[in-house]
Amino acid sequence: MLDILMSDKHAIVLLKKDHECVLKLFEDFKKAESKVEKESIITQALEELKMHAVVEEEIFYPTVRKQVGAEMMNEADEEHHVAKVLIAELEQKNGGGDHRFAKFTLLAENIKHHIKEEENMLMPKAQETKVDFEALGAMILARKDAMMKNGIPVDAEHKLVAGSRGVIDSPAAAAKKKKPAIRKMAVREGDETRA
Ligand SMILES: [Fe+2]
């Protein structure tokens, strides 16, 4: 169905509005020149993404799962999981360290891919189901209101990252080491030649 024929309370219209909002923030991030500006965009984007993930996982995904099928839904679940790990890392104190902006850029790329799949495959399939999408939209709006008043629930990925007590991003940690392993190896080989 064409979006133009759907009311602005239709669940899919609401979810697509969220998508537009974060896609705009990702573009703004690319254009932003100052660190302060980039940080402000990261904060806004993470809040939007967390609320969006909650309404999809609690309301939209369970309703359309059977119609869409396990293969597509499982992939969407896993994309959410990876995104939420990155979000949790970015929300840690000094999250991402010197890799912070790279981590956010990767999150943005992952989300763009996820949005494309949702809008081109998952949502059209979901619309084949006989669901009252207006009622579903009302539930989405009510859940978002509640989160704005009471806060967003802490997800499993935040607990996982918090439990890691610091670094679980091993490539970022390795990049901080002063001597590259290959140089150490070369020195050792050189020592052997000299011996
Ligand atoms: Fe999603």
pLDDT range class, residue 5, cuts 50, 70, 90: low
Per the structure, the count of domains in the chain is: 1
Q: Does some domain include residue 190?
A: no
Give the separation between CA 179 and CA 2, rounded to whole angstroms. Answer: 57
Average pLDDT over residues 165-173: 71
pLDDT tops 70 at residue 183: no
184-193, pLDDT tens digit by residue?
666 666 555 4
- Count of all residues that appear for the chain in the document: 195
The CATH number given to whatever domain includes residue 8 is 1.20.120.520
DSSP symbols for 49-107: HHHHHHHIIIIIHHHHHHHH-HHHHHHHHHHHHHHHHHHHHHHSTTTTGGGHHHHHHHH
Q: Does some domain include residue 173?
A: no
In the reported structure, the alpha carbon of residue 56 is separated from the centroid of ligand 1 by a whole-number distance in angstroms of 6
Backbone torsions φ then ψ of 126, nearest 5 degrees: -60, -35
Q: Does some domain include residue 183?
A: no
Q: What is the mean pLDDT of the chain?
A: 89
In the reported structure, the alpha carbon of residue 114 is separated from the centroid of ligand 1 by a whole-number distance in angstroms of 6
Instruction: Return the pLDDT at 2.
Output: 54
Q: Does some domain include residue 193?
A: no
**Domain span at 17:** 3-166
| Burial class (CB within 10 angstroms; exposed 0-12, middle 13-18, buried 19+) of 44 | middle
Q: Does some domain include residue 187?
A: no
Q: Does some domain include residue 180?
A: no
Q: Does some domain include residue 65?
A: yes
22-49, pLDDT tens digit by residue?
999 999 999 999 999 999 999 999 999 9
Distances (CA, A) of 47 to 67, 143, 188: 29, 14, 49
Question: What is the CA 192 to chain-centroid distance, rounded?
Answer: 49
Give the separation between CA 166 and CA 154, rounded to whole angstroms. Answer: 18
Q: Hey, what are 148's tokens? A: 């704005």
In the reported structure, the alpha carbon of residue 113 is separated from the centroid of ligand 1 by a whole-number distance in angstroms of 10
Q: What is residue 164's three-state secondary structure? A: coil
Closest to 168 (Cα-Cα) out of 85, 102, 104: 85
Q: Does some domain include residue 26?
A: yes
- The environment of the single-atom ion ligand 1, i.e. residues with CB closer than 5 A, is 56
In the reported structure, the alpha carbon of residue 19 is separated from the centroid of ligand 1 by a whole-number distance in angstroms of 9
